[in-house]
Amino acid sequence: MPAATVPKAMSASSPSLPPWALGPFVRPDNARPLIRPNAASRFDCPLRQEPVAWEARHTFNPAAVVHEGRVVILYRAEDDQGPGGIGGYTSRLGLAVSDDGLDFRTEPHPVYFPAEDAQKPFEWTGGCEDPRLATGPDGTYVLTFTQFPGRNPAGGNFPWRIGLATSRDLRTWTKHGGAFQGTPHENLRIKSAGILQTLENGRLVAARVRGKYWMYFGESFVSIASSDDLVHWTPLTDAHGAPLQIMRPRAGFFDSEFTEVGPPPLLTEHGIVLVYNGKNRDQAADGDPNLPTGAYACGQALFDKDDPVKFLARLDRPFFQPELEWETAGQYEGGTTFAEGLVFFQGRWLLYYGCADTFVGCAHTSV
């Protein structure tokens, strides 16, 4: 599949962005959270066997796709049952629809959630977290997300893993289990996965390079996997059999703690552009002194368009970072603009992000 030509209007025009980068991105006028918690929403949980306020606490970390001429978001929603704190509630995935990409109508029930099925041991009681969406060549939607069993009563968390599901309508999903099933990494503690896409006739679709589909994944560092069918994935490994690390954190920069994969990466004429979420370390150690300790800000990296493993460059400064009150204060006190959704819609790029683990926000390029 040929690399997409990023529309000229979307090219980086700011001197601070190189020609290969997407942007610049700005907040809408009178920016506000697009999706907020709603304590009135009720869902008959098949595992608790009672109605639960499934999005009462937090609504954040959105995936996005264009479906039937509208922007559809899948967002992580946390209920109000559990020990509390980050990861202390059950997460389910809600759905919201917009005609313009900015004003969303949420649906009353989650579309993906833990149930009495083969995935229950991996999704209960923690749930289904942090989705990303890609579109296959035949129009099938591929969902990657974090399966989280929950907290260990003895302390700490049970290991999470990357889950995968498919759908034709974004509401009815086929669960396929772990993305790395059948490999030694099936239950490795890994999260955050985005499938490589390209812009084709104005539509983002999964891209093949060297005859394979590619998925970038990882939290502490970036790794990569390949697939023949978008469902069964095999991580590339190093000489010790561990996932190959193709990008790592940098001391003194905004990504000094984590380089966590954001939305599905984009194959362009310049190369593969990966939007990622950098976490800042303690400023007293080797973090970026321009950001608070623990803050998540958005970066971009470039990989070779003919060799998805080959790292070429990345931005030294975040192109988008927490600034507004609802991005800097919430469940996550360090502040986040945690990008997970990217769509091309009505002539511009729309970037959807989680705000302090509490709300959903959006930034966009100029038309």
Structure confidence at residue 112 (pLDDT): 98
What is the CATH superfamily name and number for domain 8-364?
A: Glycosyl hydrolase domain; family 43 (2.115.10.20)
Q: For the chain of 367 residues, list the mean pLDDT of each consecutive stretch of 10.
A: 53 68 96 97 97 98 98 98 89 98 98 98 97 98 97 74 98 98 92 97 96 97 98 97 97 97 98 98 90 97 98 98 95 95 98 97 92
Do the beta carbons of residue 286 and residue 351 sit within 8 Å?
no
Q: Quickly list DSSP for 5-35.
A: ---GGGB--STTS-TTSB---BPPTT---SB
Structure confidence at residue 85 (pLDDT): 87
- Rounded Cα distance between 306 and 39, Å, is 48
What is the residue extent of each domain of the chain?
Answer: 8-364
- Rounded Cα distance between 180 and 187, Å, is 8
- For the chain, the distance separating the N- and C-terminal CA atoms, rounded to the nearest angstrom, is 26
Spatial CA neighbour of 295 closest among 256, 251, 248, 341: 256
Structure confidence at residue 12 (pLDDT): 38
- Rounded Cα distance between 209 and 89, Å, is 39
Local structure of 235: helix, strand or coil: strand
The whole-model pTM stands at 0.96
Spatial CA neighbour of 215 closest among 193, 197, 199: 193
- Rounded Cα distance between 188 and 361, Å, is 31
- Rounded Cα distance between 237 and 227, Å, is 14
